Homo-oligomer: A and B are copies of this chain.
Amino acid sequence: MGLVLADSLLKQELERVQADVDGAFDGLLPTPEDSRARLVEAMRYAVIGGGKRVRPFLLITTAGMYGVSRTAAVRAGCAIEAIHAYSLVHDDLPCMDNDDVRHGKPTVHKAYDVATAVLAGDALHALAFEILGDPVTSNDPFTRAELVHALAAASGHNGMAGGQMMDMLAEGADFDLRTVTRLQQLKTGALLSAAVEMGAILGKVPEEGRGYLRAYARDIGLAFQIADDLLDHEGDEAKAGKTLRKDEGQGKATFVSLMGAEQARHQAKALSEQAVGHLASHGQEADLLRELARFVVERDR
């Protein structure tokens, strides 16, 4: 009963974050009167109305634990979601993963064209930092500069983009568990960690008080990716809203190919529990983060 109730609270809160983020993007991206309209429409197509919003949820929920205003947290949530969305638009390109479907609808280069998709990704990338640099997000310049630094470091060559490069070279490569773990910590873990970190920055949590939040983020990041590999291996394409089992076809090493499905499931669950353990110093204000840690390994899409 407790779990059902908590699950439903988590679901409600994820939906609230989705609505808030969509509403904020709608305000941030009015369609211009000139021929830039096509670009802004493609940006809106990529960023409004799709995805679970796990990164903004993590950011907004962490910020909420420290009394940050919802408006500020939602804006910073939009910044991290804009980075996530641009990375999906570019990853889906014909020259990269060549995917036709994302969030159950045609990818941006299918709905528009490849050039518009490249440009829409670039413009979403810039939008993220325009939001964070804007005094409307936080009137404290130190907070703004810290948010920018955390997000840029997590998304560049030492973070997400670096992980994507490793992933591109992984096809047929003889990767061991250690290398796949490192790759995934960069490709998806860095941005999930940045979400929690940015919540803590907005909450003015001092550097030395962020250790357990970082440990939580690291564990759910890895659990999230192992669960993703399991869903890719066993999941339903219609529910996932994207093409599955491409890694297997390309001979890429994944957590499932390296450990087997049973061991991977066990490992994801252990990491999820470990993540919850890092929140022991918190009371019920951290319940949503605890529920999310369980959700990331139990979700079916």
Residues on A facing B (Cβ under 8 Å): 29, 32, 34-36, 38-40, 43, 86-87, 90, 93, 95-96, 113-116, 118-119, 121-123, 125-130, 132-135, 141-142, 144-153, 155-159, 161-162, 164-166, 168-169, 173, 179, 182, 186
Contacts and interface: CB of A to CB of B under 8 A. Distances in A.
A158 B134 CA distance: 15
A116 to B, nearest CB: 7
21 contacts: A34-B179, A35-B169, A36-B186, A38-B165, A86-B122, A115-B168, A116-B165, A118-B118, A121-B122, A122-B161, A125-B126, A126-B156, A126-B161, A130-B156, A133-B145, A133-B146, A133-B148, A133-B152, A141-B141, A144-B144, A145-B145
B115 A96 contact: yes
A161 B145 CA distance: 23
Given A34-B182, A115-B95, A90 B122 contact: yes
Contacts of A95: 113-115, 118
Given A39-B157, A130-B149, A34 B166 contact: yes
